[in-house]
Chains A and B, each alone.
Chain A
Amino acid sequence: MLLIKCIFCGERDETEFHYGGELRDKRPLNPNDLSDKEWAEFLYSKRNVNGIHIEQWFHSGGCRQWFNIERNTFTNEITNTFNLKKQKITREKD
């Protein structure tokens, strides 16, 4: 079970959160110029990282805020938490 540190509420059980997937590239600003292949890539292709992964989580059972964390998908170690507004990195370890 993951122990996730919400940047607003502190450490909570994974079951309080909703996983929002990988932090994706920005939505293309010129959709009309994209080919079907490029759209499909934006919509569906995944980096599916084995290792350090930046992902979005929603504290659905708490403060109901979104934030990003950096997690190693192999060891499940969470190494960073990001505040979406400030985009400031708060290191867990120091």
Chain B
Amino acid sequence: MNNKLNTKNSYSIFSIIKGGFNKNSILDISISNKTPKKQYDVIVIGGGGHGMATAYYLAKNHGITNIAVVEKGLIGRGNTGRNTQVVRSNYLWTESSLLYEHSLKLWNNLSQDINFNVMYTKRGVFSLAHSYQEARDVARRVTANKLNGIDSIYLTPKEIKDYIPIINISPKVRYPIFGASLQKRGGTVHHDAVAWGLARRLNQIGVDILQNCEVKNLIIKNNIVNGIETNKGDIFASKIAVAVAGSSTRFAEMGKFKLPIESHPLQAWVSEPIKPILNPVIMSNAVHAYVSQAEKGELVIGAGIDKYIGYSQRGSFSVIENATSAIIELFPSFSKVKLLRTWAGLVDVSPDACPIIDLTPVKNLYINCGWGTGGFKATPGSGYVFAHTVANNEPHVLNEPFSFTRFESGKLIDEHGAAGVAH
């Protein structure tokens, strides 16, 4: 393991007390404005959570530190800073549940690993069922989870009400509650902390984070990539790893191959802060809505994607209206709460709602995309297996099923129906 990871400059109870007496903030997350080197071992394109986690595990697990993370804007301003922070691993199919479970386990120790509190809070994630068929599907998923060693329980409406006294379990509503699954280790992780913590750690390791550095093209000769053209000049590397979410298709075009990905707006919105009233995360596939309460007190609400392709990072109001009305039916006491802000990200949706983490038809070029509406929870796991793929030029066992070729062989991993609104 690389000794640059053992930095002295770490947070502890003592450094925080000491910091309290000094005027200067002890938060040293400023990222110096580096000029790119001419040559790196690996260039990671995309300064979101997935790109930075990839660089982190390249250093930690594979001893590679001559890395640049190239970001066209500022780190964490893509989906990483826009998501609603839900983490869980109770997916239906074995392939996906193992990948997300690996990630959930990494969250457990990530704060200690990177010496930055990412605030993983095991507040529990409920997935509600609103019909007999959905209740059967949820029960099936609970069983599948148990077979894969993932904690998951099935609850009746009465048991749900015991956990969440303010929820409306009346049978006389548009979407009555028939039951729910609960994953107690599911919950939330603070998204900005993930971006800052990883960036700070990479800075300490000596990875160059190049912000405001937009990749305009890949430098490819004889189907081998060896560099990138950017607004800060050409930069060369032995290997190039792409983790750019909604912009993935542009990189496939540069490499002259095709992707089964479409980019959609995905919206979220928050209310004014209120006193603590809701502990767990509540999701509902049928009504395409979910809600949790942030530490600061805002209700954080999200929905499914806007149906059309869109690069504007703006969605339609009808999505907000539909999901909010469903949430108010579930929680009548929220009806007077005011909404503060709405926003949208640019998510990369694949046909089977599962990622592609693989080599590409271009030699030394690797891609990690297709996480769609639910990739935040996978940030460390995604970086872990992608780093393995890049370092060894072959996938890790956990991402082998998430290959390009599954669309040719027909071995899709159909999480769409299984996990519904997959956040």
Cα-based distance from A55 to B307 in the complex (angstroms)? 12
The answer to whether A73 and B310 touch across the interface, beta carbons within 8 angstroms, is yes
The answer to whether A40 and B309 touch across the interface, beta carbons within 8 angstroms, is no
- Would A40 and B408 be within 8 Å (CB), given that A45-B260, A74-B312 are in contact? yes
Instruction: Return the contact of B260 from the options A37, A46, A50 (Cβ within 8 A).
Output: A46
Contact with B along A35-50 (1 / 0, CB 8 A): 0110111011111111
The smallest C-beta distance from B293 to any residue of chain A, in angstroms, reads 28
B contact face: mostly helix, strand, loop, or mixed: loop
- Would A48 and B309 be within 8 Å (CB), given that A1-B317, A14-B318 are in contact? yes
Instruction: Return the contact of A41 from the options B258, B261, B318 (Cβ within 8 A).
Output: B258
Instruction: Return the contact of B261 from the options A18, A19, A48, A53 (Cβ within 8 A).
Output: A48
8 contacts between A and B (CB under 8 A): A1-B318, A46-B260, A46-B261, A48-B249, A50-B263, A53-B309, A73-B311, A76-B314
Contact with A along B312-328 (1 / 0, CB 8 A): 10101110000000000
Total A-B pairs, Cβ < 8 A = 61
Instruction: Return the contact of B407 from the options A1, A43, A53, A55 (Cβ within 8 A).
Output: A43
Cα-based distance from A27 to B250 in the complex (angstroms)? 25
Contact with B along A6-24 (1 / 0, CB 8 A): 0000000111001100100
Q: Counting CB contacts under 8 A, is A30 at the interface?
A: no
Q: B219 — which chain A residues lie within 8 A by C-beta?
A: none
The answer to whether A48 and B263 touch across the interface, beta carbons within 8 angstroms, is yes
Q: Counting CB contacts under 8 A, is B32 at the interface?
A: no
The answer to whether B260 and A19 touch across the interface, beta carbons within 8 angstroms, is no
Most buried by A among B311, B316, B318: B311
Counting chain A residues whose Cβ lies within 8 A of the other chain, the interface size class is 20 to 34
Q: Counting CB contacts under 8 A, is A75 at the interface?
A: yes
Most buried by A among B249, B263, B308, B318: B308
Q: Counting CB contacts under 8 A, is B9 at the interface?
A: no
Instruction: Return the contact of A75 from the options B249, B260, B312, B316 (Cβ within 8 A).
Output: B312
- Would A1 and B316 be within 8 Å (CB), given that A19-B308, A46-B260, A55-B308 are in contact? yes
- Would A49 and B309 be within 8 Å (CB), given that A14-B318, A15-B318, A44-B407 are in contact? yes
Q: A63 — which chain B residues lie within 8 A by C-beta?
A: none
The answer to whether A14 and B408 touch across the interface, beta carbons within 8 angstroms, is no
Closest to B406 in A: A40
The answer to whether B260 and A44 touch across the interface, beta carbons within 8 angstroms, is yes
Q: A46 — which chain B residues lie within 8 A by C-beta?
A: 249, 258-262
Q: Counting CB contacts under 8 A, is A84 at the interface?
A: no
The answer to whether A74 and B408 touch across the interface, beta carbons within 8 angstroms, is no
Closest to A53 in B: B309
Cα-based distance from A50 to B346 in the complex (angstroms)? 11
Q: Counting CB contacts under 8 A, is B176 at the interface?
A: no
The answer to whether A48 and B318 touch across the interface, beta carbons within 8 angstroms, is no
The smallest C-beta distance from B232 to any residue of chain A, in angstroms, reads 22
Q: Counting CB contacts under 8 A, is B351 at the interface?
A: yes
Q: Which positions 331-372 of chain B face chain A at CB distance < 8 Å?
A: 351
Q: Counting CB contacts under 8 A, is A2 at the interface?
A: yes
Q: B407 — which chain A residues lie within 8 A by C-beta?
A: 40, 43-44
Q: B258 — which chain A residues lie within 8 A by C-beta?
A: 41, 45-46
The smallest C-beta distance from B243 to any residue of chain A, in angstroms, reads 17
Q: B310 — which chain A residues lie within 8 A by C-beta?
A: 73, 76
Cα-based distance from A73 to B409 in the complex (angstroms)? 31
The answer to whether A36 and B409 touch across the interface, beta carbons within 8 angstroms, is yes
Closest to B317 in A: A1
Cα-based distance from A94 to B262 in the complex (angstroms)? 32
- Would A45 and B259 be within 8 Å (CB), given that A1-B318, A15-B318, A40-B407 are in contact? yes
Most buried by B among A39, A50, A71: A50
The answer to whether B312 and A37 touch across the interface, beta carbons within 8 angstroms, is no
Q: A50 — which chain B residues lie within 8 A by C-beta?
A: 249-250, 263, 311
Q: A41 — which chain B residues lie within 8 A by C-beta?
A: 258
Cα-based distance from A44 to B262 in the complex (angstroms)? 10
Q: B312 — which chain A residues lie within 8 A by C-beta?
A: 73-76
Most buried by B among A1, A15, A48: A48
Closest to A45 in B: B258
The answer to whether B263 and A37 touch across the interface, beta carbons within 8 angstroms, is no
Q: A18 — which chain B residues lie within 8 A by C-beta?
A: 307
The smallest C-beta distance from A3 to any residue of chain B, in angstroms, reads 10
* Known contacts A40-B408, A44-B407, A46-B260, then 10 further A-B pairs from the complex at CB < 8 Å, ordered by chain A residue: A2-B308, A2-B316, A14-B318, A45-B258, A48-B261, A49-B309, A50-B250, A71-B308, A74-B311, A76-B312
The smallest C-beta distance from A42 to any residue of chain B, in angstroms, reads 11
